[in-house]
Amino acid sequence: MRADNHHHMNYGHAIKMARTARGLTQRELADELGIASSYVSLLESGKRTPSLETLQQAALALEIPLHLLILMASSEEELHGLDSAEAATLSKHLLSILLSKDLGQGG
């Protein structure tokens, strides 16, 4: 199953945002996912659309809930009244909360 049924979704941006927040390189994420770093680059640039399985694996590797990754990928049309700037701010805050919670638990 492909995740591209929502062609407005920017999964690559979401993956990149979460990856950089985690302090991972494309190669490190690729190693975690068992894929080529060039494929991570293609995903992040929007030149490829990840499968649902790849999205699930990325969420696990990035230690964030899949639904947060999907929220981060959502376009303004899918956010039903929440503009993209507000969504980006919300996503960053949620990611920050998750990261600080993880750091507070020692890992």
pLDDT band at 5 (very low <50, low <70, confident <90, very high): very low
Q: Considering the chain, what is the average pLDDT of its residues?
A: 83
pTM of the model: 0.74
Please give the average per-residue pLDDT across 35-53, as a whole number: 96
Helix (H) or strand (E) holding 93: helix 84-104
